[in-house]
Structure 1
Amino acid sequence: MNTLSLRASDFEPGHRVAAFQDAVSSMCKLDITPADPETFQSHTEIGLLPTLMTGQTMHSACTVVRTPTLAAETGDNIMLHVPVKGAFSMHQRGGQDVVCGPGQIYVDPNEMPGIAEFGEGRTEVFYVSIPRGCLQSSARGLNAVMRDTAAMTPQWRLFLRYAQSLHAELRLLPPDQALQCAAHVQDLVVMALGAANERMEIARGRGVRAARLKAIRDDIEQHLTSTELSVDWMAARHGISQRYIRSLFAGEETTFRDYVAVRRLRLVHRMLTDPACSGLTVSEIAMSAGFGDLSWFNNCFRRTYGRTPSDIRAEALAVAFSRN
């Protein structure tokens, strides 16, 4: 997996601060101004995955700014700032002036300009960046803490320890296992956000897996007729492994393929019994619902409804016409 290291001390002494500033602006979309250029120290270790970024940083006193121009270059991610040592102050557009120290977490919408101040001494912060779409099942809980600090609850501590462990081992993990661990981090964030808001599904006791499964089912409904719909396509969209998706549906005593087939069969059944669709052939209806293999479709339909599609259509249309 991709890991990056950025140290102020790696640059030539005569141009150290300017070169470091250019690197931070390019890589992190931030402007950084040391309080004392002569003694300034900074070290950042970054771990990169398609659906997750982790970072461990150390700064001496400095000001860090995300300008509107730099903010526009960032993705639609949520950055979680967790002070490990020391503290920082933060102000983002639309938020309040806050101070975040150990025992707290700051929730940062990356696309929002802001300014952070790191005080005297050594400040250490752990960061996790997650695509906003991966947290859609926790939208209410997320909005409640956006551009603000939250207390370090047991749920947030569990997230932090797991994310720090993943960060430490990232370069040694096979890609598929790293992606699976990234999904676990996302789930722990969902759980932590839900625990802060009783209205959330997770806080009502249905669990992280239930929230994840609901998000995938909702996505299936939105793309039910798409020929692209498959377990690998869905895994890529949600930033999780195919194995994890299969385990979610196995917990419901079904498979991803069978669940999609059932939803498509119900759509076909509705169309077959709708007089407005009487001009379409059974094959056309099946194809429009996303079935590519007509033989498999016919077998599934008979197994589910106990009759052929033509029989279901003939009976429903006869009833409809008899009423007119």
Structure 2
Amino acid sequence: MADGDDLILLSLSSRSFAPKDRNEAFHETFGRQILKLEIDPLDDQLIDVEMQLRILPGLAVAKASISPIICRHTSMMIDNDDPVIAFVESGSVRFKQNGHETIAHAGDAILTTGGLVGTAEHTTGRMINCRISRSLIAPMVSNFDAEIGKLIDKGNPAIPFFLNYTNVVNASETIDARLRRAVVTHMLDLAALILGARGDAAEVAKNRGLRAARLLKLKKCIQADIGNPDLSLTSIADSNGISVTYVRKLFEADGTTFSEFMLAQRLAKAYELLAAPARLNETIAALANEAGFNDISYFNRTFRRAYNATPSEIRQAIRRKD
């Protein structure tokens, strides 16, 4: 785990090693030393693993594409007892741990731990593993050890929101310290709900984690459809199956409004288009329309207020640079 507010980024690739040395080198360097696993191919072929690790304070996310391999976590490898939630994106995995033998298929999730010996036999596929600090999750969920080695209910409503956060973390090369703390807090809340938080802890997790995750999803929906001039509070609420009132409350709790956020995103998109050298010959009106503005006067007015410059001045500055 990272110390303080650090974010550690690691990329592991079996292809970093020459074919003749690959299996042995990956086994020793990445398997034993970094992942604390004995990793061997299942079919005497070359190991083919591509992994992205994002290590935050109290939380680590690993996303990997893998060839058929067997991973053994031996007693000599145990250096923590943190819980790990493993999500199978494609392929299948046979887990053996805590007296259970469980096969997880695409779409399944299973609870494992670094504190017990175990094995995982993987077919070709993709995985997401999330290690969570026991000291942070235990006060919220006190009874999860009995579930180690078992499948997690795939219908748990917190799972898709948790996975959205893993995508955000994996795609980010830099996250400032304040945002890192918020991301970890929200992911811990969602993990607590996945692992069966009860009572006051569940209420706190729902209020903090689920609301933040819903807001993140709403913002991503807005950004994905920002060029649609018909994008509205009602259309976003309908597409997410929630009420207009709830959408308003989520944005208000974030210190803004739906309209303010949408306008800021449209202006940012327009600025991006205006600053693109490949788009310099297109009219400002056409680019504004692509960013979702259908009133050029309103666009010019709000753009100048946001950037203290007109669209034409921004474009002229870009041309001078070129």
Range into which the TM-score falls when normalised by the shorter chain? 0.5 to 0.7
- CA deviations 1:250-302 (Å, max 9, x no partner) are x9xxxxxxxxxxxxxxxxxxxxxxxxxxxxxxxxxxxxxxxxxxxxxxxxxxx
The corresponding residue for 2:112 is 108
Cα distance in 2 for partners of 1:129, 1:182 equals 12
Shift of 1:6: 1.0
- CA deviations 1:64-120 (Å, max 9, x no partner) are 10011112xx2231111000011100001x33100112232111121101011112x
Cα distance in 2 for partners of 1:97, 1:201 equals 33
The corresponding residue for 1:172 is 174
**Corresponding residue to 1:62 among 66, 69, 85:** 69
Instruction: With the length of structure 2 as denominator, give the TM-score of the two structures.
Output: 0.58
The corresponding residue for 1:30 is 37
- CA deviations 1:32-57 (Å, max 9, x no partner) are 11023444311111011121111001
- CA deviations 1:226-256 (Å, max 9, x no partner) are xxxxxxxxxxxxxxxxxxxxxxxxx9xxxxx
Distance 1:210 1:84, change over 3 A: closer
Structure number with bigger Rg: 1
SS of 1:20's partner is helix
Shift of 1:200: 4.0
Cα distance in 1 for partners of 2:16, 2:206 equals 44
Q: Write the mapping of 1:1-324 to structure 2, written as runs, cut at 5 A.
A: 1-23=7-29, 24-71=31-78, 74-92=79-97, 94-119=98-123, 122-152=124-154, 153-169=156-172, 171-194=173-196, 199-202=198-201, 206-208=203-205
- CA deviations 1:8-40 (Å, max 9, x no partner) are 111022211111111211000000110234443
Structure 1 unmatched runs, 5+: 213-250, 252-324
Shift of 1:188: 0.8
Cα distance in 2 for partners of 1:59, 1:182 equals 27
Partner amino acid for 2:204? G
Cα distance in 1 for partners of 2:34, 2:208 equals 33
Instruction: Give yes or no for contact 2:10–2:54 (8 Å, CA) kept in 1.
Output: yes
SS of 2:100's partner is coil
Shift of 1:211: 9.5
Cα distance in 2 for partners of 1:130, 1:70 equals 18
Shift of 1:141: 4.8
Partner amino acid for 2:171? A
SS of 1:194's partner is coil
Percent of aligned positions that are identical:
21
SS of 1:36's partner is coil
Ranges of 4+ aligned residues in structure 1 off by more than 4 Å = 209-212
Instruction: With the length of structure 1 as denominator, give the TM-score of the two structures.
Output: 0.58
Instruction: Give yes or no for contact 1:138–1:194 (8 Å, CA) kept in 2.
Output: no
Cα distance in 1 for partners of 2:111, 2:99 equals 11
Cα distance in 1 for partners of 2:119, 2:171 equals 28
Cα distance in 2 for partners of 1:211, 1:2 equals 25
What's the Cα RMSD here?
Answer: 2.3
Structure 2 unmatched runs, 5+: 1-6, 210-252, 254-322
